[in-house]
Structure 1
């Protein structure tokens, strides 16, 4: 690299990742003669499960990344140099960790194990009112020189850190955008939006096995239990959604107490494979829903319909408020099938398009008229599923 400043700017503009940014930054400083043994960057995020991502480079192990959950390590942070700096309203900190009277911060033991002699810490605030949870980043460096960093080395690091912080902020915002789209609209839909499929009415037609699931009796239970039911609803929705992901499907939408999911058919996955994946996901969802019910006094039955057909997958909605989802006759038919689960007293209903390629035995439930569909449809269930008879 011509110089470290230009390299950092290039990384920030090119959209590299934090692992490469931190590793390259450390290598650049060491090439200039700075004897680093450890570097650390903590980046906050807005994520339902992860509170902060930590990036730790050590001379012995390279760069390692860890996502810290909201529930874990709260006490560890409170006992860290960064928490001390925040409590004392400092943005800069420096300690000699090999001194007998060094502060008793737990991280100093990690530094000493790497052969470090000091701990240089800096806090950078982002101060973005539109993203208040992205408060800023914490950065630290440790050297192996007896007596610690030289004054000119500290000055060099401090001169570079604003650039490093800006590049890290840009990467954090991009990662946050990707994570939010993955979380709220789904992995496939999120990547399509990022690739530019953002115009209303723009999308594609695809063939997929569809899973339409809904809790029976939830509405009346919700009326009786109020807000206390949200935690339980999450448990049921997780029982439905996790098996979909495990079978390489995608949850397209949570609809109150129900789920719409798809298992796309492509050159890499045949119709038989997609339908088999949908069946396995349905079986597992029913089992896990029963496990949730065993933890509660009032059980909630899960009804699932599986169908296969062509759907439109794309942007639908108002000009300023779009939803990336699927629509089409196949979706409507799956919904109408699920509505018959209660009438037929059957937890799982398959259309002929799914039953004909089922890897496990099925049995007929007879022909039935679906609301809004002229011709009767023969419906099926798995032979192992108890309930209705034709």
Structure 2
């Protein structure tokens, strides 16, 4: 039995695979072409991610379908077994044969290639699968390095921004003007909390706050662009000409965050901890989305009058006694019921701003 098709592909083309799912499907198809009896397979990679400890892709030979299963951090043995069992249950019923598994590369924590056959693999077939694992080491190392880079950038920048950074050169003059609904949110009385609480309690409060507000942003298709002390700037980019979709998504996100913070405050009160009041503002406008900074130290961010306005608008939450304030630009594009609060000047902004809030808005404290 020869592996001409599989080994040739691994040497010449596998390194260009766009992702682990395609790599697994391609190597499986080539193994079948080289007369290896396969019903399915799996590829597991460890990833540097704040939540996910490992990612496993599972491939079915009968239709070429690939799905993904994840194991969440902390990566204890029970979780690993649970994730693996869930994945193999998807392949269950394909065959009554055995599973062959190889750790690819040196050490015990490298990528794992697993194969399931319609019958017991012969010794010759096992030797061929081990040879495939040896030839797969180089392309999988490249694939793992690329996945590590992408996961790291997404953790620090967000998915859209990470993709933009990956696609562009590392220069200060790289950026684009986009339209987006902006959400700026900020904790109230954070300085006092920092002065009166142990550092660990302050970090725990910040993490809980950011989990709530960022989770709401991500749930409705937005992206956290920047954490600024105890504040956060998020964007909901406009796609096409429909401005209302981005505005409605931002409104749903901030409403969800209000509900989440109310629940969190209930838990904190039960623990004898102070509530975490916050203010949030929404605006719609154009932003320059790209690289700024020093010649050799860049930041990927958004700047422009719209960013200035949304941050100044959030500053009105306390004087107006509201948790959420919404600019006239957003109000004009949404069908949501809003309460007008009049026109107000904003510090550093030339024109006054029409200001709205959501019904039953909570009082800022």
TM-score (norm 2): 0.83
Cα offset for 1:180? 2.2
Aligned partners of 1:11 and 1:21 also within 8 Å = no
Cα offset for 1:112? 10
Structure 1: where are the runs of 5+ without partners?
Answer: 80-106, 128-133
**1-structure distance, mates of 2:112, 2:17:** 20
Structural mapping, 1:116-155, within 5 Å: 116=97, 120-125=100-105, 135-141=109-115, 143=117, 148-150=121-123, 152-155=124-127
Per the alignment, residue 82 of structure 1 pairs with none
Per the alignment, residue 287 of structure 2 pairs with 311
Structural mapping, 1:188-337, within 5 Å: 188-225=160-197, 226-270=199-243, 272-297=244-269, 298-337=274-313
Counterpart selection for 1:172 from 139, 144, 149: 144
Deviating more after overlay: 14-23 vs 311-320? 14-23
**1-structure distance, mates of 2:265, 2:288:** 35
Number of aligned residue pairs: give it. Answer: 351
Two-structure CA RMSD over aligned residues (Å) = 3.2
TM-score (norm 1): 0.78
Cα offset for 1:157? 2.8
Per the alignment, residue 114 of structure 1 pairs with 95
**2-structure distance, mates of 1:268, 1:337:** 25
Cα offset for 1:113? 8.5
* Residues 356 and 142 of structure 1, relative CA distance in 2, 3 Å threshold: closer
SS at match of 2:150: helix
SS at match of 1:373: coil
CA offset digits 1:45-97 (Å, max 9, x no partner) = 11111111223446678654311112466236589xxxxxxxxxxxxxxxxxx
* Residues 4 and 303 of structure 1, relative CA distance in 2, 3 Å threshold: same
SS at match of 1:294: helix
CA offset digits 1:293-316 (Å, max 9, x no partner) = 111021111201112222211101
SS at match of 1:346: coil
Counterpart selection for 1:371 from 347, 354, 358: 347
Per the alignment, residue 181 of structure 1 pairs with 153
CA offset digits 1:182-239 (Å, max 9, x no partner) = 2211222111112125311321122222111111122221332221232332222122
Cα offset for 1:44? 0.9
Deviating more after overlay: 304-313 vs 152-161? 152-161
Per the alignment, residue 42 of structure 1 pairs with 44
| Structure with max Cα Rg | 1
Structure 2: where are the runs of 5+ without partners?
Answer: 83-87
